[in-house]
Amino acid sequence: MNPNSWLMLCRSVRFGETDAAGVMHFQQLLRWCHEAYEESLERFGLTAAEIFPTPGCTPEVALPIVHCSADFRRPLICGSPLAIGLKPTRLDPGCFEVRYSFSSDDQLVAEGLTLHVAIRADGRQRCELPQGINRWLEASALQGGIQPL
């Protein structure tokens, strides 16, 4: 499977995502980051129920975002095409980050970052990343070399 199939996503800016000036509202960027993360996991083959709580099903390990950031380079308007590149990286056995690059018409328009830690859902103590996330991180790293567990 080609990593680009889950690490490069496309979408457009929608009217409801813009402000009164007609440009993307700043809070949309972090929403798009999380949506791209979810879609990347799905395209890789991990179901939402394996990673996120759903009615009647809580995974043993939660992956809260403990840090995020967003940098804006150029304004985006309704209809702007977006290519979203994801670069997930394992930082240690219980932590990973995802860097996001947003391009429109081959120009970098924004960047984002989310930092996730693994915690046991029952006691909220740090733990190792779940196996599915480790597979996603390992496969994603193959583009730039193998990343040890």
Instruction: Confirm if 97 and 89 have CB atoms less than 8 A apart.
Output: yes
Specify the DSSP class assigned to residue 24: B
Q: Taking the CA of residue 50 as centre, how many other CA atoms within 13 Å lie in the half-sphere pointing to its CB?
A: 15
Tell how far CA 51 is from the center of its chain: 13
Tokens standing for 49?
């129920």
- Whole-angstrom CA distances from 32 to 10, 86, 100, 134 are 11, 11, 9, 23
Rounded to whole angstroms, how far apart are CA atoms 76 and 144?
30
Q: Which of 19, 71, 105, 122 is catalytic?
A: 19
Does the annotation count 19 as an active-site position?
yes
- The residues assigned a catalytic role are 19
